[in-house]
Chains A and B, each alone.
Chain A
Amino acid sequence: MFGDYSLGDLGSIFVMQGFAGLILFSVYVLMALGLAIIFGQMGVINMAHGEFMILGAYVTWMTSNLFQTYMPSLFGGYFFLAMILAFVASGALGMLVEWALIRHLYKRPLDTLLATWGLSLMLQQAYRSVFGAREVGVELPQWMLGSLHVTDSIEVPINGVFVMGLTALITIAVAYVMFRSRWGRQVRAVVQNRVMAGAVGINTEKVDRYTFGLGCGIAGIAGSAFTMIGSTGPTSGQLYIVDTFLVVVFGGAASLLGTIASAFSISQTQSTLEFFMSGSMAKVLTLLAVVGILMLRPQGLFALKVRK
């Protein structure tokens, strides 16, 4: 298997596959962060999470078109505005959905799963009717094209580096909001003991709504970042939803650190395997390994010890 390559080649292959894995890792982390907040903190299974992500991607696409037509001079910076718009759009839709649908179902988690699946079907059809069934791709600004030459045989694409930087930034921001801000403390209080949190004066309904909105907003940013490395179609979100749930469950549902660790291990395994066998077998082996480990250790990698 390794015989045809020299040691140096093999090193470069591992670095470049590792880098491809890091890009996949970034997408997983961005998607899983939102899901970890919604599923890990609130216990709600949001099957429409992928569609919230795609909403962000479509918002980015529209913004880039807008800039191209009306403000070509500012095109280099459209992405930053697009990201904010994506966050707002997905977050607002998320809060609306929480108000109309999710809040009636907190006591029936399996039913949320079905209802949000219904929602995802409707959103997919809505995208198809509005944006067409074809996949769309955004045009990258000039500075994001090309790649960095690290050594003669190793080169890394700039958009990948950008997406990774963005992921790191958002992860830090989320960690800060959840563990350092007053609002994050309220969220965690509601998760740990809803009745008690209400008794000390936290508006639990409002906290729920904003938590769900935040999770969906982050999915929107994930979609925005996703346009940098792939094209967007009405059903793109569905492709990632199962993987993302596995990432969250594998990491231990309530742990942000676990989510990141599991996203890293899953994406690295998959992209390294992809070099040696067909993409589909790499995926099958990765998923099988994850399911197998989950059967041995159902609580995931990093489980919080909670008294129930």
Chain B
Amino acid sequence: MTDNRFFNRSELIGILVLAVFLVVVLPLSLDVFRLNLVAKYLTYAFVALGLVICWGYGGILSLGQGVFFGLGGYCMAMFLKLEASSVENTKIQSTPGIPDFMDWNQITALPFFWKPFNSLTFTIAAIILVPGIFALIIGTAMFKRRVGGTYFAIITQAVAAIMTILIVGQQGYTGGINGMTDLRTLKGWDIRPDHAKIVLYFFEVGCLLVCIMIAQFVRHSKLGRILVAMREKEDRVRFSGYSVANFKIFAFCIAAVFAAIGGAMFALNVGFMSPSFVGIVPSIEMVIYTAVGGRLSILGAIYGTLLVNFAKTSLSETFPELWLFGLGGLFIAVVLAFPNGLAGIWGDYVQPRIDRLIASRKSKPDGWTDSSVADGAPAE
């Protein structure tokens, strides 16, 4: 396995450790409530994973990932909401059979764009395709005209703002500021009780591991190398005959689709979807998960997401005032002192020691060639 195209040895170990941690350690050590919290955090890990490819490797900072998270989440929530508002469930409304918030807003028939969401197949396709095509349009418009860097960040941020205002403003069609609440069943299977939460958690972890594999594949393929080359010296890649714009569009689209899968998982695991996960603030928070974990590290992004969210939950439970100071300080510290985040710290300080330890055991008979062996030994 050591010379496999998708992993080297240490990456394989890393993924296995993560898998064991998520599949065995967490479910055994946490109660269902906490496990559901982890499931909620992991939905952001999808976004962070996409950002590693798009921002870490491609150098494209998108401040609008919340838009794609929201698109995926709303697609899923629309399906669940339609199932929850069957005619029997909504007898008391003036128009039975439509979601409750539409009834409150004097809408009497299901809008045309809601109708296809009666089908689960269509919904799953929409979760992937709607954000993907949206990202394709934005990406094509921007990258073909060589807009990048800070301009791209600002424009994606504006898109996030537009999306939030639109969702909040069109209450009758989207549920407004409260979002879509009271989601009950998936094809007749109740998603609310504890055992369903556990099943959904494992399903989510499975999806996450698949996404990690895809990210690994992208990273180790030729495509990933071109992305890195592009980030470092865009002009040279262009002069070498590659279409820089197409690679950027691809990276942006894959990040968007990952974010959308995360959003759909959010609607399933948490049981509602609201515009507070779409706008500018959550989008930037998702960037910080990636930055804390290490923008170049696929696994780091996931640990970073879990860590920041655990810190957020526990700090804002006990000291609500301190949390914003903490988060703000974290932004500044990560940017100034640890640009490569947790993964950077691991790679710079922890990994060499472990390598040295292993190397020194192996070379015990020689006794004193420690450092020279350690220098040559690292697995990467």
Residues of A in contact with B (beta carbons under 8 Å apart): 43, 45, 101, 104-105, 108-115, 117-122, 124-125, 128-129, 238, 242, 245-246, 249, 278, 280-281, 283-284, 287-288, 290-291, 294-295, 298
* Chain B contacts for A113, CB-based, 8 A: 61, 63, 150, 153
| Cα A249 to Cα B321 with chains together (Å) | 34
Q: Are B150 and A109 in contact (CB under 8 A)?
A: yes
Q: Are A298 and B332 in contact (CB under 8 A)?
A: no
The prevalent SS among residues of B at the interface is helix
* Chain A contacts for B145, CB-based, 8 A: 295, 298
Given known contacts A101-B336, A113-B153, A114-B287, is B329 in contact with A283 (CB within 8 Å)?
no
Q: Are B142 and A45 in contact (CB under 8 A)?
A: no
| Cα A288 to Cα B328 with chains together (Å) | 30
Q: Are A125 and B324 in contact (CB under 8 A)?
A: yes
What are 9 inter-chain pairs, A to B, with CB distance below 8 A?
Answer: A101-B332, A112-B335, A113-B61, A122-B328, A124-B324, A125-B324, A238-B280, A280-B165, A281-B169
Most chain B beta carbons < 10 A, residue from A108, A112, A121, A238 = A121
A-B pairs, 9 with minimum CB distance: A118-B331, A280-B169, A122-B328, A121-B328, A125-B324, A295-B141, A118-B328, A115-B335, A298-B147
Which chain B residues (115-167) contact chain A, with CB distance < 8 Å? 141-142, 145-147, 149-151, 153-155, 157-159, 161-162, 165-166
Q: Are B149 and A110 in contact (CB under 8 A)?
A: yes
User: How many B residues touch the partner, as a band?
Assistant: 35 or more
Shortest CB-to-CB span from A183 to chain B, Å, is 26
| Cα A154 to Cα B161 with chains together (Å) | 34
Q: Are B165 and A284 in contact (CB under 8 A)?
A: yes
B213 within 8 A of A: no
| Cα A122 to Cα B151 with chains together (Å) | 25
Q: Are B336 and A242 in contact (CB under 8 A)?
A: no
Q: Are B165 and A125 in contact (CB under 8 A)?
A: no
* Chain B contacts for A238, CB-based, 8 A: 280-281
Closest B residue by C-beta to A286: B162
Q: Are A287 and B158 in contact (CB under 8 A)?
A: yes
B237 within 8 A of A: no
Residue in B150, B280, B325, B327 whose beta carbon sits within 8 Å of that of A242 in the complex: B280
| Cα A59 to Cα B77 with chains together (Å) | 45
Contact with A along B274-287 (1 / 0, CB 8 A): 00000011001001
* Chain A contacts for B157, CB-based, 8 A: 242, 245
Shortest CB-to-CB span from A302 to chain B, Å, is 16
Given known contacts A242-B280, A295-B142, is B161 in contact with A45 (CB within 8 Å)?
no
* Chain B contacts for A128, CB-based, 8 A: 321
Residue in B142, B146, B168, B330 whose beta carbon sits within 8 Å of that of A118 in the complex: B330
Which chain B residues (14-46) contact chain A, with CB distance < 8 Å? none
Q: Are A118 and B329 in contact (CB under 8 A)?
A: yes
* Chain B contacts for A287, CB-based, 8 A: 158, 161-162, 165
Residue in A125, A291, A294 whose beta carbon sits within 8 Å of that of B328 in the complex: A125
